[in-house]
Structures are given as structure tokens and as C-alpha cells.
Structure 1
């Protein structure tokens, strides 16, 4: 995978190498693995809505892994360039789609006689939850691709003509890009996943407020940590 000159330190970093001989910085390799896992987890956790006391507002639990997707995509854009980050976002469809297909296969396969006889409640709960998430699985990719590509675009545009290396500048760019992209994500996802199932007003308001708040308070620090962690990984030498 091509990368800008600033992606690797002067000394040869530890890199993951494919059979074709194409190397990938260790930081990008690790974050790509985490990215694929978070895309799957976000779809599964989204089924549960979490209350935001002391209000009546709520958020869907997929918000937590999804914010990590924002952090990872911004980190990749900062270190390896916008094009590299966009490729990771598009490839994120693969684990998401494969997980959805495997879920449908598992639901279609007959349960064991032991589970039917002795654990029918567990079977019913499993089927109820996962069979009911098809709208979540469909809404996820639509909001996912829109918001994450928007996040990368805003994050990169705010970089301007400078190198964007200052910590304060990095944190501000991360906060603004995340807040705007996550507000868009919330509107798309909540509408497609839950409209018509129940009154989505409180969930929509809670989701937008929570994502914007977390984007301003937590995401800047997580991106700063993510960039430093990736650089540390890239600087590791082979033993």
C-alpha cells in the first residue's frame, strides 16, 4: 500500500509484510485489525439503547465502537494520508458484510436438540435479538460510509497547508470533524434502523448530543493517543 513519506520514521520500522512483498507499517496493520473488529461490534451492540440519566434521552450502544472507528480513521489519515484512510473505510465493508451473512446462516441452521429441550429461553432470546437486527445491519453501512468518509474529509481539509503536527491543532481538527460527522451519522442511522418501530425523538436527540459531546471531550485525546501509539509501533525494530 502506498504511503506518504511522513508515514514511517527514518529508521526502518517493524512492518507487516504480505507474501507479495508489500510492507505495511505496524501501526497501520494493528489499527486495520482493530477497525475491522469495531465495524462488526458496532452492528451487534446497536440493538440495545442505553439510558442517559437523569434525562429521558438514550443512545444506541453502537456509539462506543463507532467512536473508536472515528478515532482510528482520523489517526490513519493523520499518519498515512487521506487516501490510505479512505481505503480502510471502504474495506471495512468486508467484515461487516461477511458478519451479516454468517449471522443469517447461523439463524437458518437448526438448533441442537439439547438447546431446544433444556435451553429454549436462550434460543428464543438469541433468535429474537439477531433476527430483529436486519434493519440495524442495513442502516449501519449507509451511515457508516457517509459519516466516516465525511470525517476523513473534514479532518484532512482542516489540516490546511501546514503539516498538522501540533497537538492542539490535531485535537481541534479531531473534535470538529468527529462532532460534525457523528451528528450526520446519528440522523441517518436512527432513522433507517428504528423509524416506525417506536418514537425515535428521544433516541435521536440523545444520540446526537452524546456523540457531539463525546466528540468534543474524548475524541481529541483519543486521537492524540492513537497517533502516538501508532508512531511507537512504527518505530519498533525487528529483534
Structure 2
């Protein structure tokens, strides 16, 4: 056997910040669908918001951060790669629902079993609506964020403004698509739809700019540590 046959190929270099965000991104795509089953009231109004918004905003921050530091191409790629954990999670969920429960659970924890099956058997519309809203809104977020950047790097204030505008517009679109596909016909959706749009737009303006700025600094710090260790 020749030397070249026994020599391991060098690993493909990846910035540590990009690697960490890629891992976090995959987890958030799955968690957003699970959390979406519960609607949270926006006190003191009667408006509501589905809880998946919190994980989804993290997806927006990550995609914008990756676009800022590593380019629109990489940001778009992780959006498409986000379908992988979504697909695996949905397949595993159907497998678990199809498998027979243990005797101990049937005899001693029947209420827990019924609650688990009720939630996850009725969440299929959420799992179906999620990818549709996910792909449209996140690709739109990346596109708007990148277009507003222009040809220059810009300032921190510019980064925050771009992040707020891109997030607000894309999340409004996401709300209309997701709420309509997931819940239309199950209950009156107008309060939820209005609450979702308002909450996402407000959070996009108030919170997302600071999260993106922090996300960029964190990724830069991780990348610097990666360089020092190499």
C-alpha cells in the first residue's frame, strides 16, 4: 500500500463561529416546531402569539450573522440545510407514535401517554406549515439583509438597522404563511395572526438588532480563538 493510501486527508477548515452557529441553527429549527403548539397571550390584550416565535427569532439572528460575516451564500446554504433536522425529527416523531407504548406506561401513566399522543398527533399541521413559512421568510430575510448592505461593510448602527428591517418584513410574511397553514379552520385565527405580526415586528425592532450585533461579536471572538489554537 502506498504512502498516499494510508495518509489521512486534511480536514476541511471551517471557522469556529460558523460551526457553532450551524449546530445551534439545526436545534432551533426543530424546537421552533415543537414550541409552536402553545399560544401565549400578550397581556393585557386578547392578542396571542405562538411560542415558536422565540426559537424562530434566533434563526433570524443566526442567518443574518452568518450572512454578515461569511456571506450570503453560506447563509442561504444553512437555511436549506435546516430542512435536514426538520425532516429527521418529523420521521422520528411518526416512528415513535407508531411504536407500541410500554405496559408500565399504559397501566400506570395512561394520562401522560394520552397527552403525548394528543399533542403530537395534532401537531402535524404545524410540522407541515413550518417548512413553508421557514423557507420563504428566512430566504427573504437573508436577501433583504444582504441587499441593504450594498457593497460596503457599513457601521454597527447600519448593521442594526439592516437587521431590524430585514427581520420585521420577513417575520410579518412568516406569520401570515404559518398561522394560516397551521391553524386555519381549527379556531378563529385573527387574534393570533395580528398578535403574531405585532410581536414579531416589535421584537425585530427592539431586540433583533442587539442580538445580531452580539452574534457577530461572538462569532468573531470564536474565530479568533480558533486561529490561536491552530
- 3-state SS, counterpart of residue 59 of structure 1: strand
* Aligned with residue 126 of structure 1, among 85, 99, 116: 116
1:2-33 CA-to-partner distances (Å, cap 9, x unmatched) read xxxxxxxxxxxxxxxx9662111000000000
Which position in structure 1 is the counterpart of 2:180?
A: 191
* Aligned with residue 60 of structure 1, among 50, 53, 61: 50
- 3-state SS, counterpart of residue 56 of structure 1: coil
Which position in structure 2 is the counterpart of 1:177?
A: 166
1:113-147 CA-to-partner distances (Å, cap 9, x unmatched) read 00000000000000000111100000000000000
> Which sections of structure 2, spanning at least 5 residues, go unmatched?
1-7
Which position in structure 2 is the counterpart of 1:209?
A: 198
Which position in structure 2 is the counterpart of 1:153?
A: 143
> Which sections of structure 1, spanning at least 5 residues, go unmatched?
1-17
Matches within 5 A, 1:20-169: 21-164=11-154, 166-169=155-158
Relative to the length of structure 2, the TM-score reads 0.94
Q: Aligned equivalents of 1:207 and 1:52: distance in 2? A: 10
Max radius of gyration: which structure? 2
Q: Aligned equivalents of 1:27 and 1:160: distance in 2? A: 24
- Alignment: residue pair count: 221
Q: Aligned equivalents of 1:205 and 1:122: distance in 2? A: 33
Deviation (angstroms), 1:161: 1.9
User: How well do the aligned residues superpose, as a CA RMSD in angstroms?
Assistant: 1.1
1:196-223 CA-to-partner distances (Å, cap 9, x unmatched) read 0000000000000000000000000000
Relative to the length of structure 1, the TM-score reads 0.91
Q: Aligned equivalents of 1:65 and 1:20: distance in 2? A: 35
Higher helix share: 2
Which position in structure 2 is the counterpart of 1:238?
A: 229
Q: Aligned equivalents of 2:10 and 2:29: distance in 1? A: 27
